[in-house]
Chains A and B, each alone.
Chain A
Amino acid sequence: MNLVPIAARVGAPRIVPTRGIPFPAGDPSLDPEAERAWRRRLLETALVAVSTEVHKPTIFDPMLVAPAPA
């Protein structure tokens, strides 16, 4: 079951879709280095999300959102 529509439905303002319910901050199908890079990507996306003005539930796709400039 995908949680993103539920999160949007209950009004979560900033939502980052991840790859699976049992591992929201990881991906066990990847080797450790790649998984850590994916986790970094998720957190970078989350930081973009909290730095972005939103007016309703908004999805920040980690595959599409560019990291904030360092």
Chain B
Amino acid sequence: MKVVHYINQFFAGIGGEDKASTLPASREGAVGPGRKLAAALAAEGHELVATVYCGDDYAASERNAPAEILALATEAGAELLIAGPAFGSGRYGIACARVAAAASAAGIPALAAMDPSNPGVPEVAPAVAVNSGDAARHMGDALTKMAAAAAVLAKGGTPGEAEGVIGGASAGARRNSLAPLTAAQRAVLLALSRLAGGKTTEIKLPDFGHVAPAAPIADPREAVVAILTEGALVPFGNPDRLESARAKHWFRYPLTGRDTMAAGEFQSVHGGFSTVVANADPNRLLPLDVAREMEASGEIKALHPDYLVTAGNGTGVADATHFGVEWAAELRRAGVQAAILTAT
């Protein structure tokens, strides 16, 4: 079977973050980590015919990117598509997930490899997600698993746990059950166990992952600054139907030609707080009036011409992480150096 491999600009050898806006492109044969993958596939009688690559910012924020990448893969004769491994990288993971999902939806069996914590995982379906581990030190293992899973896919089968497929959404789920003792009694036992040097707990502290703070900007006067909000501030009438709670979407609206967020032209559809005072003066959610003033006075170089918005109300952590990755990619592509996000 003819296999096409999708990787990002870094693993394609194009460059790092400075090349993250690289447009989708295709090369014959295997590139970078694809060489070991190609060897493993060859052992099963499959040929890695081409490598499609793209910059992470473009792939994760440009809506047509997955279709463009898929078109290149199809052009190269893809009968099966393998994406990644993306490990813990958010933008790369989302790109792999979308490319594999698009391929699978188009009838090309596909898999994407990434860490189970990667925000791309929820987007892999209907393709298959393979556990790559969280960092590139797991590259060898990841490629072996990917080749094994691909071999199963090629036979029309469904890869499973043995091939490193990440279990269904319920794998790590917390389910309710009745314990033999009441919570109060268990708390007493836990206290005694801890006092005796034990380390147990019934709830592991949630792991929100680690966000490496961006380097500071040298001088705001030289920076393009974006203003963003999760306060669900949308054009009056909510034309795109942003959800008021548990949002699955975010939107981008232009600020060009505006010096202030005028009452009556914008409204908050947030379902988690009283929007009366925000609607009376939407600058209270999105500080456009003062931001324009600072742009005019040179305190910042320029204001990004769009604002990004979602509703942060009961939003799932996975969805919120996802939005964050997409927003970061979009803003980086647009040359924004700093962003001010209002939280409600």
Indicate if A touches B (C-beta under 8 A).
yes
The closest CB in chain B to the CB of A67 belongs to B299
22 contacts between A and B (CB under 8 A): A3-B344, A9-B208, A11-B209, A13-B214, A14-B213, A22-B274, A22-B278, A22-B344, A24-B342, A26-B283, A26-B287, A28-B284, A39-B287, A43-B290, A43-B294, A43-B340, A47-B300, A50-B338, A53-B213, A53-B215, A56-B213, A70-B299
Knowing A10-B208, A13-B213, A43-B340, say if A25 contacts B287 (CB, 8 Å): yes
List chain A residues, Cβ under 8 A from B285: 23-26
- Known interface pairs A25-B286, A25-B287, A40-B293. Does A7 touch B217 (Cβ–Cβ under 8 Å)? no
What residues of B have a CB within 8 angstroms of the CB of A10 in the complex?
A: 208, 317
The complex places the Cα of A47 from the Cα of B338 at a distance, in Å, of: 8
Give the CA-CA distance A7 to B342 in the complex, in Å: 11
- Residue pairs across A and B with CB atoms within 8 Å: the count is 101
The majority secondary structure among interface residues of chain A is loop
Interface residues contributed by chain B, number (CB under 8 Å)? 44
- Tell me if A21 counts as interface (CB < 8 A to partner B): yes
For chain A, the bracket of interface size reads 20 to 34
Residues of B participating in the A interface, judged by any CB pair closer than 8 Å: 208-211, 213-220, 223, 225, 229, 231, 272-278, 280-281, 283-287, 289-291, 293-294, 299-300, 317, 337-338, 340, 342-344
Within the complex, what minimum Cβ distance (angstroms) separates A34 from chain B? 13
A24–B299 CB distance below 8 A? no
B278 touches A23 (CB 8 A): yes
CA A65 to CA B294, docked complex, whole Å: 18
Q: Which residues of A contact B (CB under 8 A)?
A: 3, 7, 9-14, 18, 21-26, 28, 36, 39-40, 42-44, 46-47, 50-56, 68, 70
Given contacts A23-B285, A43-B291, contact A13 B217 (CB under 8 A): no
Q: How many whole Å from A43's CB to the nearest CB in chain B? A: 5
Q: In the complex, A8 Cα to B34 Cα: how many Å?
A: 39
The complex places the Cα of A13 from the Cα of B278 at a distance, in Å, of 26
Contact of B213 among A23, A54, A70 (CB under 8 A): A54
Using Cβ atoms and an 8 Å threshold, which residues of chain A touch B211? 11-13
B216 touches A26 (CB 8 A): no
Given contacts A11-B208, A22-B273, 11 further A-B contacts (CB under 8 A): A11-B210, A22-B276, A25-B342, A26-B284, A36-B289, A39-B287, A39-B290, A47-B299, A50-B223, A54-B213, A55-B213
